Amino acid sequence: MLTGSAADGVYRESLMDELRTIELAVVEGERQLAEQEALLVDLKKQDRDVSQAELALEMMRETQRQHEYDRQRLLSLLQP
């Protein structure tokens, strides 16, 4: 059983692992948002229906906001 600083170290490492995963999700989410926004622009230029693309974009933005919130939460937990 871990106690004291050893347990703190394991907890901190676990948080760091989670933060790395969230950071990757944030970066990937930004890339996907850019692609979806470009698709939306193209659809508008072609005078096509954009309702589904707009709905997908809003869902992606909400997911991105959640990832960013999770990142901030983890960063605050890691503060000394």
pLDDT tens per residue, range 7-32 = 688 889 999 999 999 999 999 999 99
- Alpha-carbon distance 40 to 53, whole Å? 6
In sequence order, which residues have a C-beta less than 8 Å from that of residue 50 and are 6 or more positions away?
40, 43, 44
- Is the CB of residue 47 less than 8 Å from the CB of residue 27? no
Is the model more confident about 1 or about 59?
A: 59
Q: What is the pTM of this model?
A: 0.84
Q: Where are the domains of the chain?
A: 11-78
